Amino acid sequence: MNPGAIRCLSPRWSTALSLAGCMALYWVVRLWLISSPTLSQVDYDEAVTGLMALEILQGKHQILFWGQPYMGTLEAYLAALLFKLFGPSTLMLRISLLIYGSAGVPALYALGRAAGGRRMGLLAACLWSLPPLFLSFQGVYVTGGHLEAVVAGALLLAGACRLAFDPPARAGLWALGLGVVGGLGLWSSLLILPLVAAALLGLCLARPSWLLSRGPWLAGLGLLIGAAPLLVWNAEHQWLTLVQVGGSQLSRAWSNAEMLISQVWTPMLTGAWWDGHSVTGQMPALLPAAALLLIYLPALGLAVAALVRWVRRAWRRENPWQSPADLVSLALWVLLFLHASSGHGHKAILRYATPLMVPLTVLIALWLSKVNHWRPLVGAGLLAGLLAFNLYTHHLYLERFAQTPSRPVETVLEVLKDKGVDFSYAHGRVALPLTFESRGKFMAADFFGARNLSHLRQVDAARQPAWVTHKRLAVPAPAMLDRALRRLGVWKKPLEVEQYVVWYDFDAAPPLSPLPSQGWRTTAPGSAGTAVLDRNLDTTWRTNPDRTSMLKLDLGQVQTVTRLSLLPGPNWPGRPGMLYNVVLLGSSDGRIWSTLAGGAGCMAGLTWRDKRVKLEPVPAIELTFPARKVRYVFLAVEPGNPSWPPLEIAELFLYQPAEGLSQWPHEAEQHLKMGRKALAAWESKPTAPFPGGHGAFALFWASQVNWTKVVNHLTQAACQAPEWEQPYRLLLEAARKSLQPLASLRGAAFCKPDPS
């Protein structure tokens, strides 16, 4: 090879080596961050990705992130491959994201090179490798697809610059390939949409003739191919992903921008890593101010200067967008505007600002290149200072959590294994990490099946599931649950392991049978108390939020009671888990009263059946207590949390001890079975968007059910067995899930009298 050829190859080799160095820096920085104890085990969102990967290994293919119709499963499939090769682990889960995120190094190089040449491309790649703490954290926090979408958006923007200003020989294939990348990014996360909009707008403005070529058609075809999984899923689920695009804040864009500047855009550059969490307070105030004044504001100034140039060019009747740098500046303005005016514009959520880092990184590189051209030593100093500042924020994060216990989940899983506990109820924030970190050997399910209803069905089928809570997450707080279990009558001393508190091996609930309510009389202010005995869910007794509400019940004769159940009205806005102050007194003669059960902290929805304590979707109040002989029952509901709706009681049931399980008429059993089966259509898609996430998601679930059939069967069950509480509970569950007024929930009050 002659010397001339060597000289021609030299820049390529130096570029390749420099990019390899940037790639190595990217991995070293994130692996360093992963060494933090806080990242030694998964968070709840990360656990979803891990659990999807485990199911993929079992041959159960996943299309979208569980419970959310706006993120895909590219991350989960790569994690499944790594699990197959190296075994499931938290580290392998994070490495799957590192692989995708590191693709941003060549993507930013390509975009930077298009905007300012090879050196500027390398500078942009370097800044992506050692970025603000926020972006590094996004590179290791496995939330399902956001970072992959942003990297895909960076490739799109770089491709748009090439098509606009330096069209390749096979521009059609480029358009097709970019369309596929955009489609995959769209499947991965809707965060790519602003970058797609910026790339498309920039390409069309800079090269209007492109619209007349076959490029748009090929790009559209590629988009359909890449986004095929997302489109197929949406065709089967009423296009729920489109819901996430809605919620425009256009009229509030300016006020939103003011909030975003102070709570999102500035913090993400100066030490924040998550919403409301930052290391800025751990450093001298001068450092973040210097970074803003010397680096970020001048980079924004370049975008402002570009605006001025566009106006001048337009005034001279020239095309305002004449270089890739113009497209990068345009992308920043488009992203800022779309963030402020989108449905997320009024939320101080950092991860929604991740796409901004693509054009901003290139503009920072452009600013440092200009300074370096003017004063090389100053430019080098600013670059070194910025990298040192970013490195310092990473160090402060690691230092802040250095004393945090590493993988406390292992201790609690070991203890649960020793106790023979395989299934548990817990809030999703607790349940999902436990299930993933056990590699599926321990199954914990969210109380209401959030993310994956099939997990709840498995725990429901277990003979004796435990309860797990967490002191820091407090969902619910262990002390709150402890008190609620006492009120329920099933308290046991819990097991405390690290931050976890576990209740297990509950006693079996006593066999009960309902007391017939015929002949009972109620006394309450305003005579509304009769509503609790008419077996008509449409009528209710409302308690007073400002003073104690009292209801006296005469059973007609002395009877043995051991449980009270209070069913709420169908339109009561209360939710399971809310706490109320309910006291139950009893008397055999109406003169001498004694406390039977209750007090502060009765949890709505908490039930005790067999050896199972569960939080049900119907927020009824239940109290179980030692059997007592009484004729009179006095119920007092005292004011509680003013932010929660006052208690509203539709029906009251009392129970007595029984020798065995209650037997119900066969016809009632059959109607209940058919009503429950019809209602089960509501949960026919276990990983579809959880209804609590968005109103449209709840409407989708409701559309799966024949509500008339549900109500008819459950009403007939109540008619056949008016003292059976279960049909009324299911009617209330149907009322809450249907999201529409049902014809009637009068239960047994609807029944026609027997002609005989």
Query: Per-domain residue ranges for the chain?
Result: 3-400, 408-503, 512-657, 666-750
Which mean pLDDT values do the consecutive 10-residue runs of the chain (756 residues) have?
51 90 97 96 95 96 92 96 97 97 97 94 97 97 93 96 92 94 95 94 93 94 96 91 73 88 96 95 95 97 96 93 94 94 86 96 97 93 97 97 93 94 96 94 94 94 95 93 95 92 94 92 75 90 92 94 96 94 95 94 96 95 96 95 94 92 89 95 88 83 91 92 94 89 68 58
Question: How deeply is 750 buried, as exposed, middle or buried, from its count of CB atoms within 10 A (0-12, 13-18, 19+)?
Answer: middle
Residue 469, strand partner residues:
501
Cα–Cα distance between 755 and 73 in angstroms, integer? Answer: 61
* Topology given in CATH for the domain delimited by 512-657: Jelly Rolls (2.60.120)
Cα–Cα distance between 433 and 408 in angstroms, integer? Answer: 11
| Tokens, residue 646 | 């006052």
**Comparing C-alpha atoms, which of 370, 331, 339 is closest to residue 164?**
331
**Comparing C-alpha atoms, which of 626, 548, 619 is closest to residue 586?**
626
Cα–Cα distance between 652 and 555 in angstroms, integer? Answer: 12
Question: How deeply is 739 buried, as exposed, middle or buried, from its count of CB atoms within 10 A (0-12, 13-18, 19+)?
Answer: middle
Cα–Cα distance between 151 and 146 in angstroms, integer? Answer: 9
Residues with Cβ within 8 Å of residue 436, at least 6 apart in sequence? 42, 46, 47, 50, 51, 54
Question: How deeply is 201 buried, as exposed, middle or buried, from its count of CB atoms within 10 A (0-12, 13-18, 19+)?
Answer: middle
Which single residue is written with the structure tokens 């390939």? 177
| Tokens, residue 502 | 């576990």
Other CB atoms within 10 Å distance of the CB of residue 498: 15
pLDDT at 1: 43
| Tokens, residue 322 | 């004449």
Q: Are 232 and 683 in contact (CB under 8 A)?
A: no
Longest dimension (CA), the chain: 114
Cα–Cα distance between 128 and 364 in angstroms, integer? Answer: 11
If DSSP codes are grouped into helix, strand and coil, which group holds residue 641?
A: coil
| Tokens, residue 254 | 């300016």
Residue type, 11: P
Radius of gyration of the chain from Cα atoms? 31
Between strands 423-425 and 466-470, the pairing is: parallel
Cα–Cα distance between 332 and 686 in angstroms, integer? Answer: 39
Cα–Cα distance between 496 and 504 in angstroms, integer? Answer: 11
* Cα dist from 138 to 34, 40, 97, 134, whole Å: 12, 15, 9, 6
Binning the chain into helix, strand and coil, the percentages to the nearest 5 are 55, 15, 30
Residue 654, strand partner residues:
564
| Tokens, residue 206 | 């800079």
Q: Are 102 and 27 in contact (CB under 8 A)?
A: yes
Cα–Cα distance between 134 and 354 in angstroms, integer? Answer: 9
Which helix (H) or strand (E) segment holds residue 481: the answer is: helix 478-488
**Comparing C-alpha atoms, which of 19, 25, 124, 100 is closest to residue 359?**
124
| Tokens, residue 105 | 């190094």
pLDDT at 756: 43
Which single residue is written with the structure tokens 């160090």? 395
Half-sphere exposure of 386 (CA within 13 A, CB side): 27
Cα–Cα distance between 126 and 109 in angstroms, integer? Answer: 9
55: phi then psi, degrees, rounded to nearest 5: -70, -35
Q: Is this structure's pTM higher than 0.75? A: yes
Q: Are 156 and 199 in contact (CB under 8 A)?
A: yes
Sign of the CA dihedral running 377, 381, 382, 383: positive
Residue 189 is classified by DSSP as B
